[in-house]
Chains A and B, each alone.
Chain A
Amino acid sequence: MYSEKVMDHFTNPRNVGEIENASGVGTVGNAKCGDIMRIYLDIDEDTKVIKDCKFKTFGCGAAVATSSMATELVMGKTIYEALEVTNKAVMEALDGLPPVKVHCSLLAEEAIHAALWDYAQNHGIVIEGLSEPKADIHEGEEENEE
């Protein structure tokens, strides 16, 4: 069902964890659908290069693997280059995903964008081509708890 690369990134995910005082944090997805991704970015103030990137994901094998791959793809890139990392690039780097799992790669792209948006908000800058991410996951969660 999954390619070897997906299984590799699922079983040995790269860059799992948190970054304290991260430059930007983005969380996308919701527990209702079974996928939540959170990406932490540490960005160099001057060069705008992503020095470090970590993730945490609640989700299936593909959700974990796409998060892991997305962190690898943006690491060392400038924020402008990172914006160019699409879900397609993530999928290709993983040697493909089953059709029902394509949404996981979209989620990975959204998570990167959400973290970049958070960075831009924190620093009062505008990153061209970046729009506000979809509503925060916690709204959905609270509904569930009631």
Chain B
Amino acid sequence: MSKLIYLDNAATTAVRPEVFEAMKPHFLEEYANPSSVYTFAQHSARAVENARSQIADMLHAKTSEIYFTAGGSESDNWAIKAIADLKKEKGKHIITSKIEHHAVLHTCEYLEKQGYEVTYLNVDENGLISLEELKASIRPDTILISIMFANNEIGTIEPIAEIGKIAKEHNIIFHTDAVQAFAHVPIDVEEMNIDALSASGHKFNGPKGIGFLYLRSNIRIQPLIHGGAQERGKRAGTINTPGIVGMGKAAELAQKEMDSRIEKETQVRDYLIQKIRDNIPYVKLNGDEQKRLPNNVNFSFRFVEGEALLLMLDRAGICGSSGSACTSGSLDPSHVLLAIGLPHEIAHGSLRLTLSEETTKEDADYVVEQLQTIIEKLRSMSPLYEDFVKGEQKNV
């Protein structure tokens, strides 16, 4: 196979061999429906409950507070809609941010059509919400605050513990979309006063099609799927044993290796950031330098369009992603990049590279070497660059 440098781990990750091995028997041998009575099924039931404990322990939650779902989007949809429904007598005001994932934003827009009011908090140039603006937005009828743990595009980590404290003081439920953060950075739902949290297995080397919702035990929402008694009667449907076991194993490994992984990824991340800055002119790092996911690098390259950049990188065997309009399927570039105040043409030229623990400094060297050539080529074709250079010459 030709060279492949996969730097799109925020999109999805490889299943780790240990995870795959843990799942395998649940396809081939231990295939029983865990809801059945016989001993054979109890093996499966135990494996599912082990995974639940694993995840609950990691969050400092109770096992009864973990509901398995099909992924992050489902968890976000369920949490927000069900909490809105639960609290509708108290009020119909929700606070979220402008840089949430579409699973949250579109759910909030749906609720607006149902008569709810939603405040979308601004973010600063690094993508951080303002706690002052949050406090000022709280009203007597505010029932839910939903702020993402870490942003999927620019990697900014929000002040979750501070938000949790404010929510608790005002007796408002706090949900966080932790799809990019869970198993990547430490999360403690007790310490951080998190009432509900969404996560997805395939973002941390688990399988696709499985996720979970953590929901504090005193919050009694309506079922998402009516039917059997699975997931304490809240989400009917035969339990996805291999998926759950795989996600549990991935969580176990992530917990065991979190410190070393954070250290390793942060080193390569900062090396790559520095190297891009040192070697390519007219670039801007998007997102906060410090409060940042260990594996996220996001740059804007002026005078260059993101899709063209991705196609060129692909030819060099490098997989990345962009917030340009051409890659989003709409006319506008990413809502996150616009929310941090980037002008359209600079937002169009963004590149996200998300590392894994396998990414090395040699990979980073190769990427920067390729990027230099590609950016130079695209700029040589760009009328924006031509105008910029002519403007510079005039000013000299």
List residues of A whose CB falls within 8 A of some B CB: 7, 10-11, 13, 16, 18, 27, 31-38, 56-64, 100, 141, 144-145
* Contacting pair A10 B311 (CB below 8 A): yes
Choose among A31, A58, A63, A64 the residue with the greatest number of B CB atoms under 10 Å from its CB.
A58
Contacts of A18 in B (CB 8 A): 386
* Contacting pair B329 A100 (CB below 8 A): yes
* Contacting pair B311 A61 (CB below 8 A): yes
Contacts of B380 in A (CB 8 A): 16
Interface 1/0 per residue, B43-81 and A, CB below 8 Å: 000000000000000000000000000000000000000
* Contacting pair B382 A57 (CB below 8 A): yes
How many chain B residues touch A (CB < 8 A): the figure is: 26
Question: CA of A32 to CA of B307 in the docked complex: distance in angstroms?
Answer: 15
Question: CA of A63 to CA of B309 in the docked complex: distance in angstroms?
Answer: 13
Contacts of B344 in A (CB 8 A): 31-34, 144
Question: CA of A61 to CA of B305 in the docked complex: distance in angstroms?
Answer: 9
Question: CA of A100 to CA of B382 in the docked complex: distance in angstroms?
Answer: 22
* Contacting pair B326 A60 (CB below 8 A): yes
List residues of B whose CB falls within 8 A of some A CB: 303-308, 311-312, 315, 324-326, 329, 331, 333, 343-345, 348, 380-386
* Contacting pair B345 A34 (CB below 8 A): yes
Question: CA of A35 to CA of B307 in the docked complex: distance in angstroms?
Answer: 11
Report 25 cross-chain contacts, Cβ distance below 8 Å, ordered by A residue: A10-B308, A10-B311, A11-B312, A16-B381, A31-B348, A32-B344, A33-B325, A34-B325, A34-B326, A34-B333, A34-B344, A38-B383, A56-B381, A56-B382, A57-B382, A59-B305, A59-B326, A60-B306, A60-B307, A60-B324, A60-B326, A61-B308, A62-B326, A144-B345, A145-B343
Partner of A57, one of B311, B326, B343, B381: B381
Partner of B386, one of A11, A35, A56, A60: A56
* Contacting pair A36 B343 (CB below 8 A): no
* Contacting pair B331 A58 (CB below 8 A): no
Choose among B324, B348, B380, B381 the residue with the greatest number of A CB atoms under 10 Å from its CB.
B381
